[in-house]
Amino acid sequence: MRIIGAASGLGAQDQACEDGPVAFHHSQAWHELAKHPQLDWGRTLYAPPERSGEAPVQRIAGFCRHLADEVALTLANQQFPVVIGGDHSVAIGTWSGVARYLAAPPGLLWIDAHLDSHTPATSYSGAIHGMPLACLLGRGDKRLLNIGLPGGQVSAAHTVVLGARSHEPEELEFLRQMSVRIIDSEEIARRGFAACLDEAMAVVAAAPAGFGVTLDLDAIDPRMAPGVGSPEPDGLRAADVLTALHWIAGMPGLKAVEIVEYNPDRDRHGSTAALLSDLIGEILPSGKHAS
């Protein structure tokens, strides 16, 4: 298992999450986790420096191409990539790299408080971390498309958004047009997390080429994960997400995991860093403290 730090906050209004991978790498939480013999911190990639006249989207596109190369190379070396962001725009690079390696769009479980499916035409803020899922489905700024494969980088028929509780109608309409399954917080409250996760994984894991998981830490209740860029009230229980990752890690076809939007400036007493460590620990072979 190889960690790839994706230290970019270019897609967010609050860019402090660009410090998330480095802050976590230097934390006591990582120090304890790093004792696992099957875990290695590979590389940390940084956003390119600003050039005169260059739009932020160009810098994001360059970063995502670099990240896609790194993810594809990790898979080609028979290692399991775990990408630590950075804002959620880095997902464009992560899953483009997976798609390129597989030569086919994977399924994707998108665990998030938000739908992240705006386009430049519908976005209220212009922030690209609100657009990555749309880009991966083939809609958005052309500079952010076709990075791994021509067309969509993930399979819409095998993509599920889980845990959303804040979105705009334009995003909802787009995802419905694409036939992406959305299991929002109200449905989870009504049906129970376990039943919703079962349904989500039946869809995602049926993708012929394999599947992945991207987790925005703001999906989790901010009382348990305060160190995020765009906190929303309530949210998933940390225990449920930990259990979910442990179960998913044992499923055949899992190609990569991504955890994003750790904002160390907003963390309290290292609690979010500790949770990030626990989340990674759930996908490690034989558990967090294997020897």
Catalytic residue among 171, 221, 261, 282: 261
* pLDDT average, residue stretch 230-240: 94
**% of the chain surpassing 90 pLDDT:** 86
218 is catalytic: yes
Catalytic residue among 66, 88, 118, 158: 88
Q: How far apart are CA 279 and CA 232, in angstroms?
A: 20
With CA atoms as reference, report the closest residue to 99 among 209, 224, 213.
Answer: 209
Q: How far apart are CA 244 and CA 121, in angstroms?
A: 35
The rounded mean pLDDT for the chain is 94
Q: Which domains does the chain have, with CATH numbers?
A: 2-283 (3.40.800.10)
Place of tokens 């804002």: 87
18 is catalytic: no
The pLDDT score that the predictor gives to residue 14 is: 83
Catalytic residue among 18, 70, 87, 116: 116
Q: Report the 10 Å Cβ neighbour count for 173.
A: 12
261 is catalytic: yes
Catalytic residue among 114, 118, 158, 167: 114
| Residue type at position 164 | A
Q: How far apart are CA 3 and CA 27, in angstroms?
A: 15
Q: Are 47 and 8 in contact (CB under 8 A)?
A: yes
The pLDDT score that the predictor gives to residue 286 is: 66
129 is catalytic: yes
Span 132-184, pLDDT tens digits: 999 999 999 999 999 999 999 999 999 999 999 988 889 999 999 999 999 99
Q: Is the pLDDT of residue 291 over 70?
A: no
Q: What is the pTM of this model?
A: 0.96
112 is catalytic: yes
DSSP 237: -
* pLDDT average, residue stretch 57-62: 96
Catalytic residue among 18, 70, 87, 112: 112
Give the contacts of 260 (CB within 8 A, at least 6 positions apart): 6, 17, 83, 84, 85, 86, 87, 88, 90, 91, 214, 215, 216, 217
**% of the chain surpassing 70 pLDDT:** 98
Higher-pLDDT residue of 259, 53: 259
Q: How far apart are CA 59 and CA 39, in angstroms?
A: 30
Distances (CA, A) of 232 to 220, 221, 289: 9, 8, 32
* pLDDT average, residue stretch 62-90: 97
Q: Quick one: pLDDT band at residue 257, thresholds 50, 70, 90? A: very high
Q: Quick one: pLDDT band at residue 289, thresholds 50, 70, 90? A: very low
| Residue type at position 133 | L
Catalytic residue among 36, 118, 129, 167: 129
Q: Are 267 and 273 in contact (CB under 8 A)?
A: yes
267 is catalytic: no
Span 16-58, pLDDT tens digits: 899 999 999 999 999 999 999 999 999 999 998 888 778 889 9
Q: Are 259 and 82 in contact (CB under 8 A)?
A: yes
40 is catalytic: no
The SS3 call for residue 202 is helix
Span 203-228, pLDDT tens digits: 999 999 999 999 999 999 999 999 99
| Residue type at position 204 | V
The pLDDT score that the predictor gives to residue 5 is: 98
114 is catalytic: yes
Which range among 23-37, 114-128, 229-243 shows the weakest confidence by mean pLDDT? 114-128
Catalytic residue among 87, 218, 267, 282: 218
Q: How far apart are CA 235 and CA 30, in angstroms?
A: 25
